[in-house]
Amino acid sequence: DSGVTQTPKHLITATGQRVTLRCSPRSGDLSVYWYQQSLDQGLQFLIQYYNGEERAKGNILERFSAQQFPDLHSELNLSSLELGDSALYFCASSVTSGSGGTDTQYFGPGTRLTVL
Amino acid sequence: AQKVTQAQTEISVVEKEDVTLDCVYETRDTTYYLFWYKQPPSGELVFLIRRNSFDEQNEISGRYSWNFQKSTSSFNFTITASQVVDSAVYFCALRDMDSNYQLIWGAGTKLIIKP
């Protein structure tokens, strides 16, 4: 158990809908990262928040957004869902912003999103 | 540009055999960090090891060992006396300044340990 929690574990929805994925980092970690893992794209970095502020952006679609709240939990919002958004979405956390590179990211169990 | 190559898409061995998973990386930075993660069938990503570019010592942890060679830009992972529970997808990842310290992932190697 990494100490990172994600809810829900599974999510089934229809195209065009909007969903929210939730992540609670390990105690003491200030950074939260979101990743998408699909069969054809592998692991893709979406976005990072550090202490409530957006720190880095990866291949995140405009239909997706995220935020980190004062209690450091984070939410990833996915809207206008398409079939291709079906994937495993991971949240990871680390102690610092990671700018020094020494941080280790610890991953949650993931949320499996199925868009029908 | 940075890149991590795990050329072995899938490896299948019989239990108790030793197996090595290859990882080759590309980076222009002199300071960088390498990682291995395990993704068992249950789906979670489990951190195994982090190695920085200044430390070329090999690491052993139980049946797991890692061989870091800067000369060949490789960070290979060996499992000795493999067990069925080792069946998983293993990812190698790189982190450097060029990537803004985000993880650059290899495609993963699926390891199947047959009883």
Task: At B41, list the tokens.
Answer: 């069938």
The Cβ-side half-sphere exposure at A64, using a 13 Å CA radius, reads 17
* Residues β-bridged to residue A6: A23
A96 in reach of chain B (CB within 8 A): no
More confident residue, B47 or A100: B47
Average pLDDT over residues A58-83: 96
Phi-psi region of B53 (alpha: psi -120 to 50; beta: other; left: phi over 0): alpha
Q: Which residues contact B65 (CB under 8 A, 6 or more apart)?
A: B58, B59, B77, B78, B80
B44 in reach of chain A (CB within 8 A): yes
pLDDT band at A100 (very low <50, low <70, confident <90, very high): low
Positions in chain B whose pLDDT score sits under 50: none
Chain B: nearest CA to A56, how far in angstroms? 8
B55 in reach of chain A (CB within 8 A): no
B9 in reach of chain A (CB within 8 A): no
Q: How far apart are CA B90 and CA B86, in angstroms?
A: 10
Average pLDDT over residues A53-79: 95
What are B35-56's pLDDT values in tens digits?
999 999 999 999 999 999 988 8
Asked whether residue A101 carries a pLDDT value surpassing 70, the answer given is: no
Phi, psi of B16 (to 5 degrees): 85, -10
Q: Are B47 and A88 an interchain contact pair (Cβ–Cβ within 8 Å)?
A: no
What are A17-51's pLDDT values in tens digits?
999 999 999 999 999 999 999 987 789 999 999 99
pLDDT above 70: percentage of residues in chain A:
97
Using DSSP bridges, classify how beta strands B109-114 and B10-14 pair: parallel, antiparallel or unpaired. Answer: parallel
Task: Specify the pLDDT at position A97.
Answer: 73
